[in-house]
Structures are given as structure tokens and as C-alpha cells.
């Protein structure tokens, strides 16, 4: 049973998060500003912190800076600021994930779980032959199976082939036609949106939020790729 710190100056949000996470079996510590949160972090053994950015007394940015001096636990930022620059700043100072308000409770829970799993299983992944991975996504080419943080994902053969091809060549961008040729071993007479539809299906299966994918990313106007380094 992991201990999770939820810190937000809005009490109702903290309470709601508590309800969701307690249902998943986590133990919740609550704090309403950065100073309180720091005290809790120092006094209790916390495995993950959900931190609002804008808070009175000490804001989330300062809190994470202080926290990183003595702890490496995953931190999920929670903020009403949705600008890219805000996200980048948060991640740069040591946060592990960034969720914008208003958030989907299910997404929050999924992200919390994923971050915890990454934290717990970090470095335990064995190198096997024909097993390819990026972040928590693992493709076992032997069994033709796909896992996200150990959870088996059910994919159609075409979906598996596309994902496996992209994971094997992670970081590289492939256009619809290139993917088509790879999968069907046939030259693409004319590209259509079939591949795009498959990609979307894959994303819905492996991503927590398909609209904000972590693994399978769209490079608009160019193609698709699997992110090489996933946080």
C-alpha cells in the first residue's frame, strides 16, 4: 500500500482526489500549501506526490525543488496552466508528469499508477532477445505480445505489426506510405487513412490519454513515431 501526498490549496479537489485514489487502495496524505506538504514529505514515507503549481506560502515549483534535495519519488504536477511552456518548466525542475485542470479522474489514477510502477520497477527490466521497449511499453516479439507497465494489451495482428515496427525503430518517423509498405510488403499505390485509423486504435489501447500520447506520437504532415525516451 503506497502512500501518496495530495497537495492543493483547493480543499474540494484534494478531497475528490483522495476519494479516487483510496478506491484504488492508496493511502492519502493531504496538504494545502507547499510548507505543509514539505512537512508531510519529511515526516511520512511518501511514494508519490500530486502537487498543484499555484499555491499560497510555497508554490509547487519551490516545493519540488526542495523535495528533490532529499527524495526521488515521482511527482505529478497538477495545474490550471495549460501552456506548453508551463509544462516544460514543470518537467524541467524535476516533476515526472503534468496534468492540467480540469482533469479526467480516470486519467489521473492511470498516471499515478503508471508513475508508481515506473518508480518501483525501475531498472528491473531484463534484456531479452526480441523484446523491445520504450518507457513502460514493452513488445515481446517472441510471443507477439504487448505490455504497458506489465499490463498485457490486446492488439489485432495489423496493430501489433505496426506498433512492433515502430517500437523496433523507435525515434524514427515513418510516413503512412512507409508503414503501409512495411506491413503489407507491397508498394503503396495511394496512401489513404487506413494506417492513420490503425494508429489511432493502437493509441487508444496503449495510451492513458490518446489525445495526449506518451508513446505513439503523431508528427503532423510527416508521419508517426514511437518516442525514444519516455519519462
Partner 1 sequence: MKDKLLGKINIRSIIQHFLAAFIVLILIFSMMGTDITIDGVDGEISYPIRDADRARVYEESYLFNNILGNNISQVLRLVAQRSQLETGGEYDGNKVIDVTAYVNRGSVMLGGYITAHYKLSDLLKWAQNGFETERKHMTAEECADFLAPNTTYTHLKNNVVSGGMNSYLSSQLDDNSITSVKEGSGEFSEGDYEILSSRYATVDGKNIEDIVSSWDEYETLSQSVQSASVALLSNYTEYGRGIEYYSNDNSNLKYLVTRTINGKTEVYSNIPNISSAYDSNATLEKFKSYGKYIYYCPNELSYETNTLIKETVLRSIIKNYSYAYPDQIKIYVGVDTNEYKCNDDFTQGRTGFSRYIPFRSQLYLVLALFIFLYILLLIISLAQIPVITDLSENRIFTEGIVLKGLSIIAVPVIITYLVVTTYTGNLEKLYENPIVLILTGIGVFIADMGLLDLIYGLTRKGKSGLLWKDSLIKKMSFGARDLVVSTTNNASVIIRLWIPYAIYVVINILLILLGIPGIITAVILDVIVGLLIYRQTLDRDKIIHVIENIQKGDVSAKVDTDNLHGDNIGLAEAVNSIGDGIKKAVDTSMKDEKLKADLITNVSHDIKTPLTSIINYVDLIKREKIDNERVKEYVDVLELKSQKLKQLTEDLVDVAKITSGNISINLQKTDFVELVNQTIGEFYEKLEDNKLTPIFKYEEQGMSITADPHHLWRVVDNLLNNVCKYALSGTRVYMDMKYVQGKDNKKKVEFSIKNISSSELNIDVSELTERFIRGDASRTTEGSGLGLSIAKNLTVAQGGTFEIKLDGDLFKVVIAFEAV
Residues found near partner 1 in the complex (CB under 8 A): 10, 12-13, 16-17, 19-20, 80-82, 100-105, 175-177, 190-200, 218-224
User: By C-beta, is 41 or 195 nearer to partner 1?
Assistant: 195
Question: Distance between CA 83 and CA 197 in Å, rounded?
Answer: 28
User: By C-beta, is 73 or 206 nearer to partner 1?
Assistant: 206
Q: CB of 83: closest distance to partner 1 in angstroms?
A: 8
Instruction: Give the residue among 152, 153, 154, 148 at the shortest CA–CA distance from 136.
Output: 148
User: By C-beta, is 101 or 117 nearer to partner 1?
Assistant: 101
- H or E, element range at 79: strand 75-79
Q: CB of 63: closest distance to partner 1 in angstroms?
A: 18
| C-alpha dihedral sign at 178, 179, 185, 186 | negative
User: By C-beta, is 103 or 119 nearer to partner 1?
Assistant: 103
DSSP bridge pairs for 146: 139, 153
User: By C-beta, is 94 or 210 nearer to partner 1?
Assistant: 210
Q: CB of 231: closest distance to partner 1 in angstroms?
A: 20
Taking residue 219's Cβ as centre, other Cβ atoms within 10 Å add up to 11
User: By C-beta, is 71 or 100 nearer to partner 1?
Assistant: 100
Q: CB of 199: closest distance to partner 1 in angstroms?
A: 6
Helices (H) and strands (E) in the chain, counts: 8, 11
Question: Distance between CA 200 and CA 210 in Å, rounded?
Answer: 8
Q: CB of 188: closest distance to partner 1 in angstroms?
A: 9
Q: CB of 187: closest distance to partner 1 in angstroms?
A: 12
Question: Distance between CA 124 and CA 47 in Å, rounded?
Answer: 18
Task: Read off φ and ψ for residue 5, nearest 5 degrees.
Answer: -95, 125
Amino acid at each position: 500500500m503506497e502512500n501518496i501526498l495530495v497537495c492543493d490549496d483547493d480543499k474540494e479537489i484534494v478531497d475528490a482526489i483522495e476519494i479516487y485514489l483510496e478506491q484504488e487502495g492508496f493511502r492519502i496524505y493531504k496538504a494545502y500549501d507547499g510548507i505543509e506538504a514539505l512537512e508531510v514529505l519529511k515526516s511520512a514515507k511518501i511514494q508519490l506526490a500530486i502537487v498543484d503549481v499555484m499555491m499560497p506560502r510555497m508554490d509547487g515549483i519551490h516545493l519540488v525543488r526542495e523535495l528533490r534535495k532529499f527524495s526521488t519519488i515521482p511527482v505529478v504536477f497538477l495545474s490550471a496552466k495549460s501552456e506548453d511552456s508551463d509544462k516544460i518548466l514543470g518537467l524541467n525542475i524535476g516533476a515526472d508528469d503534468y496534468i492540467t485542470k480540469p482533469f479526467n479522474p480516470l486519467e489521473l489514477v492511470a498516471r499515478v499508477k503508471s508513475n508508481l510502477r515506473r518508480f518501483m520497477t525501475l531498472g528491473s527490466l531484463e534484456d531479452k532477445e526480441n523484446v523491445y521497449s520504450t518507457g513502460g511499453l514493452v513488445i515481446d516479439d517472441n510471443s507477439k505480445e504487448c505490455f504497458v507497465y506489465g499490463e498485457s494489451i490486446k492488439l489485432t495482428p495489423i496493430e501489433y505489426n505496426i506498433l512492433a515496427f515502430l517500437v523496433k525503430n523507435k525515434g524514427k518517423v515513418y510516413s503512412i506510405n512507409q508503414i503501409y509498405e512495411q506491413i503489407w510488403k507491397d508498394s503503396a499505390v495511394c496512401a489513404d487513412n487506413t494506417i492513420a485509423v490503425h494508429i489511432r486504435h493502437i493509441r487508444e489501447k496503449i495510451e492513458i490519454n490518446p489525445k495526449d500520447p506518451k508513446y505513439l506520437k503523431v508528427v503532423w504532415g510527416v508521419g508517426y513515431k514511437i518516442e525514444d525516451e519516455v519519462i
